[in-house]
Amino acid sequence: MGVIRWILGKIILVVEALTKPKSPKLSAEQTQALERLSEQFTLYQFAACPFCVKVRQASRKLGLPLAVKDAKRDMAARQALEQGGGRIKVPCLRIEDDAGDTRWMYESDDIIAYLNQQTAPIINKI
């Protein structure tokens, strides 16, 4: 079972590498704005989780760099996810706004919709 899971994990990572979307062509101003925005976000994830891959690919497509924490191997990250978000489930996006308030968002579709919404004013401003 462990071997099958290991092989599946490798397949997921190979598929991710082969289907990596190109970053969009952005102005220096847009790139800077996306970098500033991304400072609010940390993605808690497992490397070979297909739902996490979906979020990573979406962020690449947007040109939004995302800091990631491995909640499988990094025990401090795992503990932070459990304490902050309430459960060990990935992907989970930690959002810290300018006032220092923190939200933990689960569900890959919700995370992607949120990132699309947050980046739209930057990306659509050409």
Ligand X SMILES: N[C@@H](CCC(=O)N[C@@H](CS)C(=O)NCC(=O)O)C(=O)O
Q: Which is nearer to ligand X, 111 or 122 (CB)?
A: 111
Is the CB of 52 or the CB of 62 nearer to ligand X?
A: 52
Residue from 70, 74, 82, 107 touching ligand X (CB under 6 A): that is: 107
Provide the 3-class DSSP secondary structure of residue 2.
helix
Residue 93, strand partner residues: 43, 105
Q: Which residue has the tokens 């062509």?
A: 25
Q: Which of 38, 42, 59, 108 touches ligand X (CB under 6 A)?
A: 108
Instruction: Give residues with Cβ within 8 angstroms of 122, minimum separation 6.
Output: 30, 33, 34, 37
Residue 91 interacting with ligand X (CB under 6 A): yes
Taking the complex as a whole, the smallest distance from the CB of residue 51 to ligand X amounts, in Å, to 4
85 near ligand X, rule: CB under 6 A: no
Whether the upstream peptide bond of residue 91 has omega within 30° of 0, thus cis, is yes
Binding residues with ligand X: total (CB under 6 A) = 9
The nearer residue to ligand X, 39 or 109, going by C-beta atoms, is 109
Cβ 119 to ligand X, closest distance in Å?
19
How far is the C-alpha of 17 from the C-alpha of 14, rounded, in Å? 5
DSSP string, 51-67: HHHHHHHHHHHHT---E
Residue ranges that bind ligand X, judged by CB under 6 A: 46, 49, 51, 88-91, 107-108
